[in-house]
Amino acid sequence: MLNPGNTGFMLLATSLVMLMTPGLAFFYGGLVGRKNVLTIMMQSFVSMGVTTILWFTVGYSLCFSGDVGGIIGNLDHAFLRGISLDQMFADGSTGIPLLVFIAYQMMFAIITPALITGAFTNRVRFKPYLMFLVFWLLFVYFPFVHMVWGGGILAKWGVLDFAGGIVVHAIAGMAALASVFFVGRRKVEDKGMHSIPLIALGTGLLWFGWYGFNAGSELQVDRITTLAFLNTDLAASFAAITWLLIEWYHKKKPKLVGLLTGAVAGLATITPAAAYVSPLHACIIGLLAGAICYFAVELKNKLRWDDALDVWGVHGVGGTLGVISLGIFASTAVNASGADGLLLGGVSFFFKEVVAVMGAGIYAFLFTYVMLWLINKFSPVVVNQEEESELDFALHGESAYDM
């Protein structure tokens, strides 16, 4: 039976997650130079169209229909075949139509590959990017959605990931690192951060949308929904202030961009654990996220990895840290449908979480690198130096500003 309250809430949550992709475009757009802002924003917005088409044709079915070896679904529901307007999600247990769940999950699929683009900003041609987008969804994102959320092998093994520590952030972050290694360093110096207000706007939209990302993953309105909502804000706030203070100590000035980046790191890190840990532990996770992700970015800079917008340090390290934190702090006293973490004697559960997130990261890294190598055989991936110097105009014939 339809539950109007749950359905209305899930439509709102779906809209909030959709808003995160434009938010990401603004966030990334402000971080790059004036001559490159349209290219990075285009890569986020085009995912909204391409991923939606792919999700409708085969994506939903591959994630949530049937099971092939515990790795991927089948094509029984390709083009949403066999799904009626009256069909309810999970036999009506939450009171929301199945179509609402399909739309909600589609928004996750849209933003996940867009996260990767910040790593190789200024260096990738548009046509190879479109190929990357399609193949990465088919061979990385869809399989992990099925394995974790679609009843696949990791779900059966007992791995938990509430809103995408493995499925979204860890695999996107490791794919970003592989992309950095493949495309190499930028040839033309990019002063970057041409608009800090644009970064702040993007962060605000991401933070706002993240309530739909995390709280909406309960798929109904109950006490766990409110817990996930509160934990999301707590972790983001603690991470933001932790990053701010550490950077202030090292750089001698309090930086707005550091505060904003720390908030995103906290949001990414709490994502897998938001519904399974207490508010106190969410605060601890935020503290860890602000510190560990900051030093991950510093390590990246020291090693001269040209991850332009710190996707690996924020999302890859943050997502991995969040899954490991879930394995440590989870409690069935908080959420009976969860598990007890390492602090409560859940050694086996902790081991499963660590193995799952590490295995997912390694696969995403290796597949992404090989995929880019293959794409490059058919269509050169990396722009030349002349194109890089005027990327927006060279690739799209447009400019963000009247130079």
3-class secondary structure for 205-268? HHHHHHHHHHHHHHCCCCHHHHHHHHHHHHHHHHHHHHHHHHHHHHHCCCCHHHHHHHHHHHHH
Q: What is the pLDDT of residues 222-249, one digit of tens each?
A: 999 999 999 999 999 999 999 999 999 9
Q: Based on the structure, what is the number of domains in the chain?
A: 1
Computed over every residue of the chain, the mean pLDDT equals 97
pLDDT for res 165: 98
pLDDT for res 403: 63
Confidence class for position 92, pLDDT limits 50, 70, 90? confident
Helix (H, G, I), strand (E, B) or coil at 276: coil
Domain of 78: which CATH number? 1.10.3430.10
pLDDT for res 192: 81
Question: Is 268 within the bounds of a domain?
Answer: yes
Question: Is 138 within the bounds of a domain?
Answer: yes
Of 136-150, 263-277, 382-396, which gets the smallest average pLDDT? 382-396
Percent of the chain exceeding pLDDT 90 equals 96
Helix (H, G, I), strand (E, B) or coil at 382: strand
Q: 264-289: b or e for each residue (b if 16 or more CB lie within 10 Å)?
A: bbbbbbbbbbbbbbbeebbbbbbbbb
Question: Is 19 within the bounds of a domain?
Answer: yes
pLDDT for res 245: 98
Q: What gap in Å lies between CA 348 and CA 158, rounded to an integer? A: 10
Q: What is the pLDDT of residues 3-19, one digit of tens each?
A: 999 999 999 999 999 99
Question: Is 401 within the bounds of a domain?
Answer: no
50, 29, 31: which is closest to 41 by C-alpha?
29
Q: What gap in Å lies between CA 176 and CA 140, rounded to an integer? A: 13
C-beta separation of 286 from 266 below 8 A? yes
Q: What gap in Å lies between CA 153 and CA 4, rounded to an integer? A: 33
Question: Is 403 within the bounds of a domain?
Answer: no
Q: What gap in Å lies between CA 191 and CA 32, rounded to an integer? A: 8
Structural domain span for residue 61: 4-396
Question: Is 363 within the bounds of a domain?
Answer: yes
| Cβ-proximal residues to 146 (8 Å cutoff; 6+ apart), any chain | 62, 63, 64, 67, 71, 72, 73, 152
Question: Is 111 within the bounds of a domain?
Answer: yes
Angle in degrees, 0-180, between the axes of helices 196-214 and 4-31, rounded to the nearest 10: 150
Residue 269 has pLDDT above 90, yes or no: yes
Q: Based on the number of CB atoms within 10 Å of its own CB, is 38 exposed (0-12), middle (13-18) or buried (19 or more)?
A: buried
Question: Is 54 within the bounds of a domain?
Answer: yes
C-beta separation of 24 from 114 below 8 A? yes
Of 99-113, 221-235, 236-250, 388-402, which gets the smallest average pLDDT? 388-402
Q: What gap in Å lies between CA 213 and CA 102, rounded to an integer? A: 14
